[in-house]
Structure formats: structure tokens, C-alpha cells
Amino acid sequence: MDMIDTLLPWAVTALAIALVAAQGVANRVRMNRMEAHWRQRCDDLGRELHAVSSGSMGVGRRLVACEQSLHRLSGALEEMRLNDPLRVPYDEASKLVELGAGTEDLMNSCGISRPEAELVSALRKGQTRGHEHAGTDEIV
């Protein structure tokens, strides 16, 4: 019994040390697995971030190209509007109506047909009446 009493504490201590060591090894294995998992997850997220940022840069380039195209088209449209040979007689006719010209005067001065002269005259007179009544809040 004497030998059992002396060896038992050593055996329990050795068993406890072995269990702690086994637990340490198991924890290390688990930590290595978790580290590999999170490293893989970080790599996946890095690739996804790269793909998203590359895509957004592509969209940004296309947006800039669209803005440049829109600017060119706006300029071309404005130039066409300003250089429209048909627009000049109507602008001139509108000014003449403001000065009191009649339909015959518009036809002779601007080279436009009677219906066009009547239309310009009616539109211009309608705009003038609209400006006169713009400040009134009359209920009809």
C-alpha cells in the first residue's frame, strides 16, 4: 500500500499533465483550422473587393465617356439650332410682330407663307397677352 500511496499522486499528476498536453494539441489543431478558414475567407473577400472595384472603375470610365458624348452632342445640337436657316425668318417675323407688323408685312419681309405668318402673329400675340395676365389671380 505504501507504494500505491506514493505512486498515486505521481500517476494522477502525470495523467493531468497528459490531458493538459492533449487538450493543448487539440486546441492547436482547432486554431490552425480556424486560421486556415479565416485566411481563405479573407482571400475570397479580397478577390470579391477587387472584382467590385474593377467593375466600378469600368462603370466610371463608361460614365465619363457618356458625359463626353453628351457634351459633344449638346454642342452639335446648339450649333445646329443657331445655324438653322429656317429659324432666322421666324425670329425676325416674331420681332416684326412685336413692332406691329401685319401678316402681309411678314410675308414680304421674311419670305414665309400666309399660314406661317398668321401662326407667328397669333403665337406672338398670345405670348404678349400671357405676360400681361401673368400677375393677376382672376378666378373664371
* Domain extent for 49: 41-83
Residues 62 and 78 placed together within one structural domain of the fold: yes
SS3 of the chain: CHHHHHHHHHHHHHHHHHHHHHHHHHHHHHHHHHHHHHHHHHHHHHHHHHHHHHHHHHHHHHHHHHHHHHHHHHHHHHHHHHCCCCHHHHHHHHHHHHCCCCHHHHHHHHCCCHHHHHHHHHHHHHHHHHHHCCCCCCCC
Q: Tens-digit pLDDT profile for the chain (140 aa)?
A: 678 788 888 999 999 999 999 999 999 999 999 999 999 999 999 999 999 998 888 899 999 999 999 999 999 888 887 776 666 677 788 888 888 888 888 888 888 888 988 888 888 777 766 655 555 544 43
Q: What is the pLDDT of residue 71?
A: 93
pTM of full prediction above 0.95: no
Residues 79 and 89 placed together within one structural domain of the fold: no
Q: What is the pLDDT of residue 109?
A: 82
Q: What is the pLDDT of residue 74?
A: 92
Residues 90 and 69 placed together within one structural domain of the fold: no
